[in-house]
Structure 1
Amino acid sequence: MEEARMEDECNTETNGTHLEERETEDAHVMDERESNSPTEVAPALIAVHPFDESVAVAVGPEIRVFDLGKNSSVSLADDSKGMLHKDSIRAMRFSERGKLLVSAGDDKLVKIWSAESWKCLGTVNSEKRVSAVALSKDELYVCFADKFGVVWVVEIAGIAENQALSNSKAVAVFAHYCSIITSLEFSPDGRFIVSADRDFKIRVSVFPNNPLNGVHEIQSFCLGHSEFVSCLTFVHNSAFPEGFLVSGSGDSTVCLWDVTSGSLLCKSEVGREADLSEECHPAVTDLCATSDGSLVAVAIQRQLLFVLFSLQGILLLSCDLSARVLSVLKMIPIPGETFIPTNLGMSSSGDLLWMVTGASNLPRSKATSLARVRVMSGFKKPASNEAYLEPRVLEDREIPGGEQLLEKLQGSISAESDIFSAVADAVNTAMSNLLRKKQYSDEIREFRKKTRNDKKFKQ
């Protein structure tokens, strides 16, 4: 008996030693894999003031602003802490009334800026990295989503009058189930907040009078995409003030939705209808609608495997709100260097579509960040019986603000096409890695299970 007990203890100790060695070996393998993984590339963003007063570009942690009214560059100031963002910005937008600019990103900070004095009015700390932001129509609340799938709200009443945001904490109001939220958008009447995620879902939630108590009522789900939903926008006009939702996805489609019922009204196969290869399924990266809701500009991701069929331009969709139909109108090519837009922007009353391509943390590049701005005209709302002007890409000298604006928003860059081709490829890879579900081997899956920090141990 005693010999058997001692043998069991010896076997247990030996097995424990082997297990510790195996776990150490597995940890070393995982550490090696993580150390060899590339730095996450962050695409350049652009935001246009609703009344064409200014344009902002974000590249990495840097925000570059140009005042179109004064025809001069702008310097942001954060008097509270004396620092701006410390890591890549992932979301940036103006409020609908144009008084505020909000930026947020990988440094887990949500910063609210005055669009008049360009001072930081307040900083909100997020528990995790931020992936999307939205401002309520009345400028009373800022909502932001993190990469764990939680949507937070912070009250900012009075901040638009340059009152500092003091002691305001973000409150978790609803969540998607452990899925990265890619886009947040308020409906035109402010009744709903719409959230999209990488698991193909679009949730429409009723935004209550006091959202700090939670956003508990789900109006509908818009289900119909087969890949991650990358972007959202609304199309509306005086005849349809509530408007309809437009969504873009990694499945190379653009969909039109009735958010009240969650009904899919129309699906446009933008890859196929733009005469691309049937095997080519590039992701839709951004959407931008004209103020009357009749046109939707679509930015489509560069396709790595089928370069001959990649889109270098903007696809225009015609939107008939009365018939509830989306249809491909035309492709507007962007001449010159390789330019695959990473983000689009348009004012609520303007004639211009602003586009930016670029990224930060580029692999094997001497430049820490690159950005290139282009502008397309011909979107001004026509008279009742007139057609839209022919959209065209402006030359650099024709852009409002001219060389001064480009120098501010782009910085000093080289315009060689191969550089921006590399940028497009890097952004494409980064988006695929971030938004498409990762597939793990059995070995890595088992290791992840063993190292989960939320597993329970029985006493």
Structure 2
Amino acid sequence: MEEENDKNPETTVAPALISVHPTHKFVSAAVGSDLRVFNLQESCVVTLADESGGHKDSIRAIRYSANGQLFVSAGDDKLVKIWATDSWRCIYSVASEKRVSAVGISNDGMFVCFADKFGVMYVVDIEDHNVEDGVTVIKKGVPILSHYCSIITRLEFSPDGRFIVSSDRDFKIRVTVFPKNPVNGAHEIQSFCLGHTEFVSCLTFVGSQKYPLGLLVSGSGDSTVRLWDHTSGSLLDTCYVGAQAEFLPSDGKEEDILPAVTDLCATPDGSLVAVAIQSLPGLMLLRCNQSSKTLSVAKVVSIPGETFIPTSIGAASSAPVLWMVMGASGLHVSESASLARVRGISGFSTSASESLDLETLVLEDAEIPGGELLLQTLQGKLSIGKEAFSAAAEAVKTAMRNLLIKKQYSAERREFRKRGRNDMKGKQ
């Protein structure tokens, strides 16, 4: 008999995701297996061309390349799809052995990396992606590094492209030298950034012309955001965002005391970092002083009129709009199995970070770039009640913890589980 929580159905709940084109040309959202893209420049819905029929299960990671020419989506159907954004055609489809948990694209756009829930990271060479129109090339990833059976939660390339940073559920952040020919393996570890006491959920880099190498920022299930010198692995500062938001336990449970950081997003100059936190209806903005190497709370941005707890956030380098989505798929708690709500905040820019007042403004639906058509495209046309979104927020929170919090078993239970493993049955 399996442990009661080993196959908890709530772990199948997948949070809605959002990603923004670097020049603010497109906004993409993923809800379940549904990938939705809106063209901001032409104010129209984007039609995706994929001869294989699209994703068949929940999408867990989406990302644009630094130059905006590529878009990658991947998830529980064990597929990594690479799209050309000039035509929005799927040009490569990569089959993974396990469910995909994170993706990354090298700064030069030549390699796509993806990681699975068994802690293995793979690379795909896409240097020549000008393939014949209408043909999806089937590729296979090459394993290049491993986190030893720990779910890899996020992948990020450093601003100079020298390193790929991978985080996992065992509190680790690994900084690896990304070689010129990674298909031969990435064997040189630059550093480990160790200090989180729960799973590392998200990563981003902050940098500017004055600090071109950048600094690494991480968020975690321990309710902190931490600043690192990734080249040495040194912890520079810790911001206790859960405590700063004045969270109080509602029923004495640990998860109420330590709400996880779910996503991070930085302004182009790295002076502001937006933080999405479970249980926080809105966002927290942190000031990042790269000269003193410190983080401090600048402002908590509340969303008026509704309980909006973002599951994913994103911004373009060329527009002062921070995009947020709240939602989930695989729900058993609402009138819809999949739901999403998109909001925006203006003033997320370098000039705003210089202001003591941080004049950020939550945009009304009519003020959102793309307007009603964008909202219909990214959210879907269903009208969802407030109670459903509150239930969705709790479902995502529970699913995230069930997936990433390491379970503790007694010695007797561990022995029982070992005897029930498939790879041990033939030896008994």
- The TM-score with structure 1 as length reference comes to 0.87
Query: For residue 265 of structure 1, what is the aligned residue in structure 2?
Result: 236
Preserved CA contact (<8 Å) 1:371 1:413: no
| Corresponding letter in the other structure for 1:158 | D
Please say which structure displays the higher CA radius of gyration.
1
Query: For residue 281 of structure 1, what is the aligned residue in structure 2?
Result: 258
Where does 1:373-392 land on structure 2 (aligned, <5 Å)?
373-382=342-351, 389-392=358-361
Q: Point out where structure 1 has 5 or more consecutive residues left out of the alignment.
A: 1-28, 303-310
- Counterpart secondary structure, 1:276: coil
Query: For residue 254 of structure 1, what is the aligned residue in structure 2?
Result: 225
| Corresponding letter in the other structure for 1:290 | T
CA spacing shift, 1:435–1:119, aligned 2, 3 Å: same
| Corresponding letter in the other structure for 1:413 | L
| Identity level (%) | 62
Query: For residue 54 of structure 2, what is the aligned residue in structure 1?
Result: 84
CA RMSD of aligned residues (A): 2.2
Displacement after TM superposition at 1:386 (Å):
6.1
Displacement after TM superposition at 1:115 (Å):
1.0
- Residue deviations 1:236-283 (CA, integer Å, cap 9, x gap): 000011100000000010000001100000011111223333882211
Where does 1:27-176 land on structure 2 (aligned, <5 Å)?
29-30=1-2, 37-38=9-10, 40-79=12-51, 81=52, 83-159=53-129, 166=137, 168-176=139-147
- The answer on 1:446 being equivalent to 2:415 is yes
Displacement after TM superposition at 1:337 (Å):
1.4
- Residue deviations 1:401-432 (CA, integer Å, cap 9, x gap): 00000011000232422111001000000001
- Of the structure 1 ranges 151-160 and 161-170, higher mean CA displacement relative to structure 2 is found in 161-170
Aligned residues: 421
Partners of 1:215 and 1:85 lie apart in 2 by: 29
Structure number with higher relative contact order (C-alpha < 8 Å, ≥ 6 residues apart): 2
- Of the structure 1 ranges 155-164 and 360-369, higher mean CA displacement relative to structure 2 is found in 155-164
Query: For residue 171 of structure 2, what is the aligned residue in structure 1?
Result: 200
Preserved CA contact (<8 Å) 1:379 1:388: no
CA spacing shift, 1:383–1:103, aligned 2, 3 Å: closer
CA spacing shift, 1:166–1:194, aligned 2, 3 Å: same
Displacement after TM superposition at 1:348 (Å):
1.5
Where does 1:341-356 land on structure 2 (aligned, <5 Å)?
341-356=310-325
- Counterpart secondary structure, 1:137: coil
Preserved CA contact (<8 Å) 2:93 2:137: no
| Corresponding letter in the other structure for 2:104 | A
- The answer on 1:427 being equivalent to 2:404 is no
Partners of 2:427 and 2:380 lie apart in 1 by: 58
Partners of 1:423 and 1:36 lie apart in 2 by: 16
Query: Counting helix residues as a fraction of each chain, which structure ranks higher?
Result: 1
- The answer on 1:300 being equivalent to 2:300 is no
- Residue deviations 1:322-344 (CA, integer Å, cap 9, x gap): 11010011101011111110000
- Counterpart secondary structure, 1:151: strand
Query: For residue 252 of structure 2, what is the aligned residue in structure 1?
Result: none
- Residue deviations 1:204-263 (CA, integer Å, cap 9, x gap): 000000000000000000001000000000000000111000000000100000011000
- The TM-score with structure 2 as length reference comes to 0.93
Partners of 1:388 and 1:77 lie apart in 2 by: 45
CA spacing shift, 1:345–1:33, aligned 2, 3 Å: closer
Preserved CA contact (<8 Å) 1:381 1:388: no
Query: For residue 25 of structure 1, what is the aligned residue in structure 2?
Result: none
- Residue deviations 1:153-189 (CA, integer Å, cap 9, x gap): 0000121677766453210000001100000000001
- Counterpart secondary structure, 2:398: helix
CA spacing shift, 1:312–1:126, aligned 2, 3 Å: same
Partners of 2:130 and 2:32 lie apart in 1 by: 26
